[in-house]
């Protein structure tokens, strides 16, 4: 049975101010209704004025997704009532959007067509405190610029949908117009149908993991209905992220009549070829391009290159170190070791204590045999957990590798102090060597190279004969 999925993705643009007024978009760290003005509160008499930056960001996104940028676009009013919508309409775009006809390539090589991209304003935020008779409204979010990206129904599995969202996030972050790490900065609605059934529109998906979950749930639900010979109705459903299920939306679709009409308070926006060219030339390297270049330039495997380009921050982190020291060694340490340690701690690189200079320092010591691999990992962990500089950790925990001469001295002493071990060795018990190596490691606090120590001890034991 063919599964058909299309997405409408909303991402918040990282402008300083809202789409149509001068209020700060920084609502997450702020008390309710602290970033509002007559415009985003919808006070009578106020008028919108378009944020130049938001327009530019929209064009950037359109170009990065290979869209045609409109030479002229118009805002429309989408009329509906809701307590979080202060004007009783949302300023959005309708038949004259910012960009159309783009593509995004998934990891599996499949191309997903973008139908359109447009700008619109975010509504306010509603809370429903338990035990209260009313809902609470915070209009700080009201008017934050959103970019809506609408795909063709080109995806055929929840995994593809998730991958698509991941790609969008990567690209938008590379453009520095979006921060996917912020809660609620990416939301989407998904249309999903199975051959022979009606299409469900699932609303209220707020992460790419959520998208996969919601779609998997829908597939099971729709298949179950079909198996029992029941009709899959065309309907709007609401995703509950906590429960991982979708429920029919209480609003009836036929009651919606958004009465779109051109926003009379906002003149048309024309976008010149020169402007498009200017923005196009300023576009940074995008994730796919970077991945290819990393493979070519630094000799990385596809997996490594892929892993190192999932975020611009990570890629920059890697590349800055790689330029100064062995790129392949760096790739292993960043893509495998560091990412593993971070994921164990459930944090991302940006949030962590480790700086580029820290890892560079560790890798330099490792490369020059000043610390052992084990020691390097230890330093990395302490940097992450204790927010100390590697240099200090090596000092404090005495992790610097020690020379063969020193090891030799310690080994001699250890052998001397353990005559029974010599006896065991003579009787052919190989374990005795391991015991002695262990003693040396203990004495050196793990700084001795175990292989070298083993060789040294065997040699010294032979010499005693």
Partner 1 sequence: MGFISDKEITEEDVKHIANLAKIDLDEVEIKKFKKQFNDILDYFNKIDEAETEGVEPTYHGLNLKNVTREDEVKDELSQKEALENANESEDGFFKSPRVKE
Partner 2 sequence: MNAKEIVNEIKRGEKTAAGFLFECKNKIEKKEEEINAFISLDLERSIEKAKEIDKKIKEGKDVGKLAGLPIAVKDSITTSNFKTTCGSKMLEGYHPPYDSTVVSKIKEEDGIVIGKANCDEFCMGSSTETSYFGSTRNPVDEERVPGGSSGGSAASVKYGANPLALGSDTGGSVRCPASFCGVYGLKPTYGQVSRYGLIAYASSLDQIGPIANSIEGISLLFNVISGSNDMDSTKVEEERGGSQIELSLNDLNIGIPKEFYGEGVDEEVEEKVKENLDQLRDKGAKLKEISIPSMEYALSAYYIVAMSEASSNLARFDGIRYGFKQKMNDNWEKVFSQVRKTGFGEEVRRRIMLGTYALSTGYYEKYYEKALKVRTLLKRDFEKAFKEVDFIITPTMPFRAFEIDEKIEDPLSLYMADILTVPVNMAGLPSLSVPCETNGLPIGLQIIGDSFEEDRIIELARKIKEE
**Hey, what are 206's tokens?**
């707020």
Q: How far is the CB of 52 from partner 2 (least distance, A)?
A: 12
Q: Tell me if residue 120 falls in helix, strand or coil.
A: strand
Give yes or no for residue 17 binding partner 1 (CB under 8 A). yes
Cβ proximity of 29 and 183 under 8 Å = no
For residues 55 and 331, which CB has a smaller minimum distance to partner 2 in the complex? 55
Find the helix packing angle between 287-298 and 312-322, rounded to 10°.
Answer: 20
Q: Look at residue 17 and give the partner it binds from partner 1, partner 2, none, a contact being a CB closer than 5 to 8 Å depending on partner kind.
A: partner 1
Site string for partner 1, 67-106 (x = CB under 8 A): -------x------xxx-----------------------
Q: Look at residue 250 and give the partner it binds from partner 1, partner 2, none, a contact being a CB closer than 5 to 8 Å depending on partner kind.
A: partner 1
Alpha carbon separation from 412 to 3, 417, 432, 445, 462 (Å, rounded): 71, 9, 15, 17, 12
Q: Look at residue 34 and give the partner it binds from partner 1, partner 2, none, a contact being a CB closer than 5 to 8 Å depending on partner kind.
A: partner 1
Residues near partner 2 (CB under 8 A) are: 38, 41-50, 77, 79, 81-83, 86-89, 133-135, 137, 139, 257, 259, 261, 264-267
The residue from 3, 7, 9, 23 that contacts partner 1 (CB under 8 A) is 23
Please list every residue from 376 through 395 that binds partner 1, using CB under 8 A: none
CA dist 360 and 97 (Å) reads 47
**What single string gives the DSSP state of each residue in 368-422?**
TTSS-HHHHHHHHHHHHHH---HHHHHHHTT-----HHHHHHHHHHHHHH-HHHH
- Per the DSSP assignment, residues forming a β-bridge with 78 are 90
In the sheet with 261-262, reading across from the earlier edge strand, the strands are 89-92, 76-79, 261-262
For residues 72 and 243, which CB has a smaller minimum distance to partner 2 in the complex? 72
Please list every residue from 245 through 274 that binds partner 1, using CB under 8 A: 250, 255, 257, 259, 261-262, 264, 266-270
For residues 24 and 191, which CB has a smaller minimum distance to partner 1 in the complex? 24
Q: Look at residue 153 and give the partner it binds from partner 2, partner 1, none, a contact being a CB closer than 5 to 8 Å depending on partner kind.
A: none
Burial class (CB in 10 A: 0-12, 13-18, 19+), 12: buried
Q: How far is the CB of 92 from partner 2 (least distance, A)?
A: 13
**Hey, what are 463's tokens?**
């010499």
Site string for partner 1, 28-67 (x = CB under 8 A): ---xxxxxxxx--x-------xxxxxxx------------
CA dist 79 and 89 (Å) reads 4
Q: Look at residue 52 and give the partner it binds from partner 1, partner 2, none, a contact being a CB closer than 5 to 8 Å depending on partner kind.
A: partner 1
Cβ proximity of 219 and 3 under 8 Å = yes
CA dist 442 and 448 (Å) reads 9
Q: How far is the CB of 50 from partner 2 (least distance, A)?
A: 7
Q: How far is the CB of 23 from partner 2 (least distance, A)?
A: 13
For residues 123 and 287, which CB has a smaller minimum distance to partner 1 in the complex? 123
Number of amino acids touching partner 1 (CB under 8 A) = 49
CA dist 18 and 146 (Å) reads 10
Among the listed residues 58, 116, 140, 123, the one whose alpha carbon sits nearest the alpha carbon of residue 89? 123
The residue from 22, 196, 299, 438 that contacts partner 1 (CB under 8 A) is 22
Residue 283 has φ and ψ, to the nearest 5°, of -65, 135
Give the end-to-end CA distance of the chain in Å, rounded to a whole number. Answer: 77
Q: How far is the CB of 253 from partner 2 (least distance, A)?
A: 12
Residue given tokens 């209220």 in the structure block? 204
Q: For 67, what's the count of Cα atoms within 13 Å in the CB-facing half-sphere?
A: 26
For residues 37 and 226, which CB has a smaller minimum distance to partner 1 in the complex? 37
For residues 55 and 63, which CB has a smaller minimum distance to partner 1 in the complex? 55
Site string for partner 1, 269-298 (x = CB under 8 A): xx----------------------------
Residue given tokens 């912020």 in the structure block? 182
Cβ proximity of 352 and 377 under 8 Å = no
For residues 132 and 227, which CB has a smaller minimum distance to partner 2 in the complex? 132
Q: How far is the CB of 259 from partner 2 (least distance, A)?
A: 4
Q: Look at residue 77 and give the partner it binds from partner 2, partner 1, none, a contact being a CB closer than 5 to 8 Å depending on partner kind.
A: partner 2
How would you classify the pairing of strands 145-151 and 125-127? unpaired
Q: Look at residue 182 and give the partner it binds from partner 1, partner 2, none, a contact being a CB closer than 5 to 8 Å depending on partner kind.
A: none
In what helix (H) or strand (E) does residue 104 lie, and over which residues does it extend? strand 99-105
- Per the DSSP assignment, residues forming a β-bridge with 112 are 104
Helical H runs in 156-264?
Answer: 158-174, 208-227
Looking at 25-33, 216-224, 293-301, 371-379, which segment touches partner 1 (CB under 8 A)?
25-33
Please list every residue from 119 through 178 that binds partner 1, using CB under 8 A: 126-128, 133-139
- Judged by the rule CB under 8 A, the positions of this chain that interact with partner 1 are 15-17, 21-24, 31-38, 41, 49-55, 74, 81-83, 126-128, 133-139, 250, 255, 257, 259, 261-262, 264, 266-270
């Amino acid at each position: 049975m063919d599964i058909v999925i299309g997405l409408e993705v909303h991402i918040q643009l990282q402008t300083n101010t809202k789409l149509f007024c001068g209020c700060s978009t920084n609502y997450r760290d702020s008390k309710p209704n602290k970033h509002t003005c007559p415009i985003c509160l919808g006070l009578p008499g106020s008028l919108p004025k378009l944020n130049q930056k938001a327009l530019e960001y929209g064009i950037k996104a359109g170009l990065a997704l290979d869209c045609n940028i409109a030479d002229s676009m118009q805002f429309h009013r989408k009329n509906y009532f809701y307590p979080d919508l202060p004007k009783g309409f949302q300023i959005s775009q309708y038949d004259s959007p910012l960009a159309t006809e783009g593509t995004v390539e998934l990891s599996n090589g499949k191309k997903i067509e973008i139908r359109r991209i447009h700008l619109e304003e975010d509504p306010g935020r509603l809370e429903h405190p338990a035990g209260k008779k009313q809902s609470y409204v915070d209009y700080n979010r009201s008017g934050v610029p959103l970019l809506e990206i609408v795909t063709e129904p080109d995806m055929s599995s929840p995994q593809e949908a998730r991958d698509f969202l991941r790609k969008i996030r990567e690209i938008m972050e590379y453009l520095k117009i979006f921060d996917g790490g912020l809660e609620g900065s990416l939301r989407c609605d998904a249309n999903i149908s199975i051959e022979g059934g009606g299409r469900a529109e699932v609303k209220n998906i707020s992460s790419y993991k959520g998208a996969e979950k919601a779609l998997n749930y829908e597939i099971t639900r729709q298949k179950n209905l079909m198996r029992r010979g029941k009709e899959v109705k065309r309907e709007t459903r609401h995703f509950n992220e906590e429960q991982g299920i979708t429920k029919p939306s209480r609003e009836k679709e036929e009651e919606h009549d958004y009465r779109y009409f051109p926003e009379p308070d906002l003149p048309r926006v024309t976008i010149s070829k020169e402007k498009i060219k200017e923005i196009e030339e300023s576009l940074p390297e995008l994730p796919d391009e970077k991945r290819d270049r990393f493979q070519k330039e630094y000799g990385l495997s596809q997996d490594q290159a892929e892993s190192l380009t999932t975020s611009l921050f990570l890629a920059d982190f890697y590349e800055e170190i790689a330029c100064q020291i062995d790129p392949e060694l760096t790739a292993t340490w960043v893509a495998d070791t560091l990412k593993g340690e971070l994921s164990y701690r459930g944090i991302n690189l940006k949030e962590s204590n480790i700086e580029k200079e820290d890892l560079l320092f560790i890798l330099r010591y490792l490369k020059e045999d000043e610390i052992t691999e084990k020691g390097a990992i230890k330093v990395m962990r302490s940097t992450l957990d204790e927010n100390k500089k590697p240099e200090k950790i090596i000092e404090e925990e005495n992790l610097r590798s020690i020379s063969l001469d020193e090891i030799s001295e310690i080994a001699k002493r250890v052998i001397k102090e353990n005559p029974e071990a010599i006896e065991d060795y003579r009787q052919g018990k190989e374990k005795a060597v391991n015991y002695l190596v262990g003693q040396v490691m203990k004495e050196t606090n793990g700084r001795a190279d175990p292989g070298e120590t083993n060789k040294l001890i065997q040699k010294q034991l032979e010499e005693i004969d």
